[in-house]
Structure 1
Amino acid sequence: MSEPEEELQGEPRDSTKKKKKEKRSGKKKKKQEKREEEEQQQVEEEEEEEEEQSECVLLRGIFKLGKKSHDVLLTRTRLTWTPITPETPTAEVCVLPPGVLLLQDVFAVKVKRRRAVGQESGGAVLGVALFCSKRRGRWLEEDTLHLHNASAEHTNTWYNTLKELLTGFSIRPRYLKVFINPRSHKKEAVHIYREHVAPLFKMADIRTEITVTERKGHALSVMKECKLDEYDGVVCVGGDGSVAELCHAMVLRAQLDADSPKKPVKSVLPLGIIPAGSTDVVSCSVHGVRDPVTAALHIVLGHLQQVDMCSYSSHGQLIRFGFSAMFGFGGQSLARAEKKRWMPSSRRREYALMKTLARLRPEDCQLSFLPAKKSNSNLFQHQDQDQDPESEGEESWTTNQGLYLSISIMSIPCLSPHAPNGLAPNTSLANGSAALIAVGNTSRSEFIKHLKRYSSSSGQFSFSFVETHAVSAVRIRPQSLIGWSEEESEEEGDSKTSPIIQSEGAAFPWNIDGELVEIANEVLVRVHPQLITLYGEEVDEAESTVSCNCL
């Protein structure tokens, strides 16, 4: 009898132990939850404190704006001014809305003085001038706010405080390496820099070291040798060719510095692009407009945008880094245009376009692509940029064999005045993927309809012979592996079903960022998320200022 009693008594002991453990664990959970709540509350209180401190009034004074006196308040983030209006006979006060200027839009502050003709220093103090950026759509314009006060002590106090606050924007550049291509487009790059860009840099107290390039590859050779740790950023004044060369050079330099010959390494310094070319595709994609002042103000204010890039390689050998590539029609038309460099750029472009359309023929090739993962862009930031598409497994690749008139791979929208919505409107600057646009074999008239829709609002992809994909890698393998040449026989007619085949050993023309690259073998394109940082802001469309009338 005693044994069963012991067993029966043992059960409640175990259950009470379990209950005690559960109570302890419950208490621990409650304590942990309470601790987390307290920590969260503390973080929120600190954030509120920081906001209150940022909005805490640092200075208050009377200044004249125009002819009226204003009550001016300065905080760490903004300047506000309210007109001082006298009371009416009925003791009513007319309350006007205050003016507001965010300090993030101010790039320089100067003391205003009255000086005689020829006087270079000294003079009676008149007040403070704030030089700022004013937004008009996608355009940024230089603007000035004049605060008049004849008190030297009052003015200097405001000047020193404003100067200190502006110095706190650490992301803004102080020393820039500038490359100018004097032969870009209409050879206006030097004039554009001197007239529109240099004065803004001087106003913002930005020092510069300028290199005027003398030949193709000059910027690349300089970038390999110069001490980049001295600079806060690099600036390119030129067209798409100059931009492509510098972007390629900056990534290569990052690889050299990191001793990583195979793995692409993100460039340490940001690149600013001052448009001075004929199309300025990269500048339009980053700024939305082809305006040197807008581009310069983005640099001065330190507006940064992370941008994806592609690597182009053949048989394991890197060809270059870039943003866009065209095979087929795009490469052929550029090859023809390059042979007519003596023509003006617009005429040369139209000639090459019409000539290529007249001899329109498809390329027989194998097109393989690796679809981009359908996830948010944050995932791409953590992917290994050197990850070989082959490692994803052959089953994840999609392969098509056939005749193609044009194949384009673009990691940016490629906005331009000729394509205001972009050549690849379904991609963005930093979504971790590229747009693959494959145009299959079709008649000349249908292909022209497809091209003409790039200059309109939309519909360029609403054809049965056009397919688009978001991809992380693309492989193009021409079946003939023989090549293309412009020296085609005029007697061959306008056959639409046979590929262009020339003598063995020739190469196929590729248009990579507006530069002609001839490649005889297959090409592998890989997308590398956020490989470079550019000064600017991502936009949806470019300002349409030029229309192509060649079709």
Structure 2
Amino acid sequence: MYLSGHEASLDLREVVGVKAVKIPAKSSTLSFGKNAKVDENVPYCIEMQPIGPLGFSVVIITRPGNHRWRCKQVSFQCKDSSLCHQWITAIKEALKSEAFCRPKKLVVFVNPFSGKKKAVKLYRDKVLPLFELADIHVTYIETERQNHARDLLVQNSLDLKRIDGLVCVGGDGMFSEVLNGLLTFTAHDLHIEEMDRFEPVAPDIRIGIIPAGSTNTIVYTTTGTSDVVTSTLHIILGDQIGIDVNSVNVNDQFVRYSVTLLGYGYMGDLLKDSDNKRWMGPSRYSWSGTKSFLANNAYYGEIKYRLSSNSDSHPTDAVKCYSGCDICSMAGQSNSRSTSKVEISAGRDTDLQLDEQSDFMKHSNSQSSDLSGSYSDSNWRTVIGKFVAVNSVTMSCSCDLSPPGMSPYCHLGDGCMDLIMVSQCSRIEFLKFLLRTAKGEERKNLDFIQMHRVKEFSFRPLTEDSDLLSISSEENIPQSKKVKLKRQTSRTSVWNCDGEVIDQPKISVRVHCQLVKLFARGVEDPSLQDDQKRNCCSPSFDNS
């Protein structure tokens, strides 16, 4: 395009929409002064102005900083309304191209109680106008109860094959509800029974999230901010990123899917206590967290985990997951080639992992060994000990309160999860762990912490005589330890599964590589932000 002596280009991938605007045509006017003489013999003409618009505005994306996106209008003036209409039609048709994969029909679920009961207003004021600008047809549903959205999806009440995506306006709990409903529907539609160690199938449609909850971990981790407008624009542009999903089994029975945190001990106790104090609002989490910290409970258990076959990948490797991440791209390509292929590899432990394990034994009195039977793969390990916390994360779990997240170098789509085991320790030691976690500081030098990148893991509490008999059959476990276990195993914790309580402590968890796709692109590398700003519209201009 050529405007006012400047050649400027707009990247269609960054265009939100286009709309007609009325720009007054420039015309010469006659002005008569006080003493002006008017020749009555000269005829006067009235210039006819077109009723239709003489210009149009293209709405593009700008990046003011901190991973936030905003809209900017670039206006163009045409010679006549017909030419204006042609430009608008041409741009709209170009944006509908399959190459852009932009959604045309969406189902939007809104939790009216999210965001201090402001979710509905937030959607109508900030989200809906942008959807209308982008010519997206929306089916709007306000949820009336817990699991309302999940039930609608499982029952196929929405004819999912006719839509391009699902959008949930709420917090992480709302997303979990939509995720579980979509994956269960997909399995049922293909006559797949959700049972122990089944292989879930990736759905064809994407999920978008408009952050409106007390926690917006998934949005923050996949976009770098919990900003409503930014998330809406990612949906409009048709951005797409695959994220890993866990299948969680309790007592060998499938119960649900998880994408953020699975926490036993401290995180489980915190959630269970806070559920009884909902009347306190969001402040209940701080109260329950303090209470659980002061209690400093530790729980006996046995953890079996299968290490990632990539010995170079580790929770402390300082390799961050940004948009276009090479690690996630390679994992996605490998997964797409053969989703049914079982990974068989010679287990190799890095020196770092072996050193960690050696220090960890001092606190947990644990024994690491290769297992037999169903755990014959040499990548399998087992740890027996007393734990303040056992946490598994499938993404970094970044949020406004802790931008680095629980595991800053965890990847969105590498087909792995980071397993963090905190052995019994003093309150001061555990506080040190919590503070370092919140600030994203190094934790590998804490000898009561062990972190591994794993494909799957299982946990069972050591509370029953049958468990003790099973343990006693393993080698290299001192008799004194068995007696100690039997005397002190009277309590168990619960699991915090994406903010939902799982009461049964015995679970097994597997990760499924990039099982679900979101309307997002991952956190953009800050070093590339300036280039993206310049390339969006060069040179910058508002009017023409």
The two structures have a TM-score, normalised by structure 1, of 0.73
Partner of 2:421: 438
Picking from 123, 128, 138, the partner of 2:56 is 128
Tell me how far apart the structure 1 counterparts of residues 487 and 150 of structure 2 sit (CA, whole Å).
40
Classify the secondary structure of the residue corresponding to 1:210. Answer: strand
Tell me how far apart the structure 2 counterparts of residues 367 and 282 of structure 1 sit (CA, whole Å).
27
Tell me how far apart the structure 2 counterparts of residues 330 and 511 of structure 1 sit (CA, whole Å).
6
> How far has the Cα of 1:136 moved from its partner?
3.0
Partner of 1:93: none
- Gap change, CA 1:451 and 1:317, over 3 Å in 2: same
Partner of 1:314: 250
Identity of aligned pairs, percent? 29
Q: What code does the residue aligned with 1:220 have?
A: R
Q: What code does the residue aligned with 2:69 have?
A: L
Partner of 1:4: none
Partner of 1:28: none
Classify the secondary structure of the residue corresponding to 2:75. Answer: strand
- Gap change, CA 1:499 and 1:332, over 3 Å in 2: farther
Classify the secondary structure of the residue corresponding to 2:166. Answer: strand
Partner of 2:539: none
> How far has the Cα of 1:392 moved from its partner?
6.4
Partner of 1:338: 275
Partner of 1:501: 490
Picking from 85, 105, 112, the partner of 1:175 is 105
Partner of 1:154: 83
> How far has the Cα of 1:230 moved from its partner?
1.4
> How far has the Cα of 1:391 moved from its partner?
5.8
Tell me how far apart the structure 2 counterparts of residues 196 and 481 of structure 1 sit (CA, whole Å).
55
Classify the secondary structure of the residue corresponding to 1:125. Answer: coil
- Gap change, CA 1:541 and 1:181, over 3 Å in 2: farther
Partner of 1:195: 125
Alignment of 1:250 with 2:233, yes or no, is no
> How far has the Cα of 1:481 moved from its partner?
5.8
Tell me how far apart the structure 2 counterparts of residues 445 and 325 of structure 1 sit (CA, whole Å).
24
Partner of 2:430: 447
> How far has the Cα of 1:99 moved from its partner?
3.3
Classify the secondary structure of the residue corresponding to 2:273. Answer: helix
> How far has the Cα of 1:216 moved from its partner?
0.9
Picking from 326, 329, 343, the partner of 2:263 is 326
- Gap change, CA 1:217 and 1:387, over 3 Å in 2: farther
The two structures have a TM-score, normalised by structure 2, of 0.74
Partner of 1:292: 228
Tell me how far apart the structure 1 counterparts of residues 394 and 140 of structure 2 sit (CA, whole Å).
30
Partner of 1:545: none
> How far has the Cα of 1:315 moved from its partner?
2.6
- Contact 1:177–1:231 at 8 Å: present in 2 too? yes
- Gap change, CA 1:408 and 1:148, over 3 Å in 2: same
Alignment of 1:237 with 2:221, yes or no, is no
Partner of 1:303: 239
Tell me how far apart the structure 2 counterparts of residues 438 and 301 of structure 1 sit (CA, whole Å).
40
- Gap change, CA 1:369 and 1:469, over 3 Å in 2: same
> How far has the Cα of 1:271 moved from its partner?
0.1
* CA displacement, residues 369-390 of structure 1 (integer Å, 9 cap, x when unaligned): 0001218523344454695998
- Contact 1:178–1:236 at 8 Å: present in 2 too? yes
- Larger CA deviation: 169-178 vs 524-533: 169-178
Alignment of 1:259 with 2:191, yes or no, is yes
Alignment of 1:103 with 2:12, yes or no, is yes
Tell me how far apart the structure 1 counterparts of residues 201 and 11 of structure 2 sit (CA, whole Å).
36
1:451-466 alignment runs, 5 A limit: 451-466=434-449
After superposing on structure 2, the runs of 4+ consecutive aligned residues of structure 1 that deviate more than 6 Å are 497-500
- Gap change, CA 1:338 and 1:177, over 3 Å in 2: same
Tell me how far apart the structure 2 counterparts of residues 197 and 499 of structure 1 sit (CA, whole Å).
55
* CA displacement, residues 263-301 of structure 1 (integer Å, 9 cap, x when unaligned): 211122100000011121111111110111101100000
Q: Which runs of 5+ in 2 are unaligned?
A: 25-49, 312-329, 345-372, 466-485, 527-544
Picking from 337, 347, 354, the partner of 2:290 is 354
* CA displacement, residues 449-482 of structure 1 (integer Å, 9 cap, x when unaligned): 1101223242244311111111000111111169
Tell me how far apart the structure 2 counterparts of residues 441 and 406 of structure 1 sit (CA, whole Å).
8
> How far has the Cα of 1:139 moved from its partner?
1.1
Tell me how far apart the structure 2 counterparts of residues 194 and 468 of structure 1 sit (CA, whole Å).
44
Alignment of 1:529 with 2:457, yes or no, is no
* CA displacement, residues 301-355 of structure 1 (integer Å, 9 cap, x when unaligned): 000001110010023211100112111110101111111100020x211110110
Classify the secondary structure of the residue corresponding to 1:136. Answer: strand
Classify the secondary structure of the residue corresponding to 1:435. Answer: strand
> How far has the Cα of 1:189 moved from its partner?
1.2
Tell me how far apart the structure 2 counterparts of residues 409 and 149 of structure 1 sit (CA, whole Å).
58
Partner of 2:116: 186
> How far has the Cα of 1:396 moved from its partner?
2.9
- Contact 1:361–1:500 at 8 Å: present in 2 too? no
Classify the secondary structure of the residue corresponding to 1:501. Answer: coil
> How far has the Cα of 1:394 moved from its partner?
4.7
- Contact 2:104–2:137 at 8 Å: present in 1 too? yes
Q: What code does the residue aligned with 1:410 have?
A: V
Classify the secondary structure of the residue corresponding to 2:54. Answer: strand
Q: What code does the residue aligned with 1:241 have?
A: G
- Gap change, CA 1:201 and 1:453, over 3 Å in 2: same
- Gap change, CA 1:329 and 1:481, over 3 Å in 2: farther
Q: What code does the residue aligned with 2:78 have?
A: N
Q: What code does the residue aligned with 1:161 have?
A: A
Q: What code does the residue aligned with 2:163 have?
A: Y
- Contact 2:408–2:440 at 8 Å: present in 1 too? no
What is the alpha-carbon root mean square deviation over aligned residues?
2.5
> How far has the Cα of 1:363 moved from its partner?
0.8
Partner of 1:373: 309
Q: Which runs of 5+ in 1 are unaligned?
A: 1-71, 73-80, 85-95, 116-121, 483-496, 543-551
Tell me how far apart the structure 1 counterparts of residues 489 and 163 of structure 2 sit (CA, whole Å).
49
> How far has the Cα of 1:499 moved from its partner?
6.2
1:87-98 alignment runs, 5 A limit: 98=7
Higher strand share: 1
Whose RCO is larger (CA < 8 A, sep 6+)?
2
- Contact 1:363–1:499 at 8 Å: present in 2 too? no
Partner of 1:53: none
Tell me how far apart the structure 2 counterparts of residues 153 and 216 of structure 1 sit (CA, whole Å).
52
> How far has the Cα of 1:126 moved from its partner?
2.4
Larger Rg: 1
> How far has the Cα of 1:134 moved from its partner?
1.6
Classify the secondary structure of the residue corresponding to 2:21. Answer: strand
- Gap change, CA 1:382 and 1:223, over 3 Å in 2: same
Alignment of 1:513 with 2:498, yes or no, is yes
> How far has the Cα of 1:109 moved from its partner?
1.4
- Contact 1:385–1:528 at 8 Å: present in 2 too? no
- Contact 1:365–1:478 at 8 Å: present in 2 too? yes
Partner of 1:214: 144
